[in-house]
Chain A
């Protein structure tokens, strides 16, 4: 298995531009998570999906952020308009419901390093 795939790996954009991050989870996994990691705040859960349905988006910082999962093999995280404070590494992770619940083990992608100038 190729693992969780994210694209792009690096994104540099200017303030006000729209940014779209993409994720392909591991085949057969029914949970997908979007995280943001910064030095100041560490790893923060933004939103997670179960069987393509958003379950909890309470971590999404504001209305500028949106996420979709149109099918089991693809998800996007969109920021519109982007701001310099959105600069961070964004991780996608997937998991399969196990004996310890839906977060038995999370498999992370390599992340997208976003820089907003």
Chain B
């Protein structure tokens, strides 16, 4: 069956360091992949989208990579700040039905 895995344990990072979150998938060939941020009591907020033919995408302090051979996406936050603390979700899309399949999310904690 299709499966998306994100680190279930919280990731603790010191302020100013780079935070790296992982999204692995199996039995899947997604057309593209998205990363969202979710704060407590709020809905997910879109951050970045990367297509299967793209290796890397950047937006300000954010960087996403997509390795279709490894079936993995990495999400990086450089110069991390306490305000970056949140849960980060990855979601994959198959081009056949346009449904987003979601990972469980990784909670990121940036310590000052």
Chain B residues whose CB sits within 8 angstroms of the CB of A100 once the complex forms = 31-32, 49, 51, 93
Q: Is the CB of A101 within 8 A of B44?
A: no
Q: List residues of chain A with CB within 8 A of the CB of B13.
A: none
Nearest-Cβ distance from residue A114 to partner chain B, whole angstroms: 14
Instruction: Give the secondary structure class of B's interface.
Output: loop
Whether, in the assembled complex, A111 has its beta carbon less than 8 Å from a beta carbon of chain B, the answer is: yes
Number of A-B contacts (CB under 8 A): 53
Residues of B within 8 A of A42 (CB): 102-105
Say which one of A13-21, A61-69, A79-87, A102-110 lies at the interface with B.
A102-110
In the complex, what distance in Å separates the CA atom of A45 from the CA atom of B99?
A: 8
Given known contacts A48-B99, A100-B32, A106 and B89 CB-to-CB distance under 8 angstroms: no
CA–CA, A9 and B53, complex, Å: 40
Residue numbers in A under 8 Å from B100 (CB-CB): 45, 103, 106
Chain A nearest Cβ from B73, distance in angstroms: 15
B residues apposed to A, CB below 8 Å: 31-32, 34, 41-46, 49, 51, 89, 93, 95, 97-100, 102-105
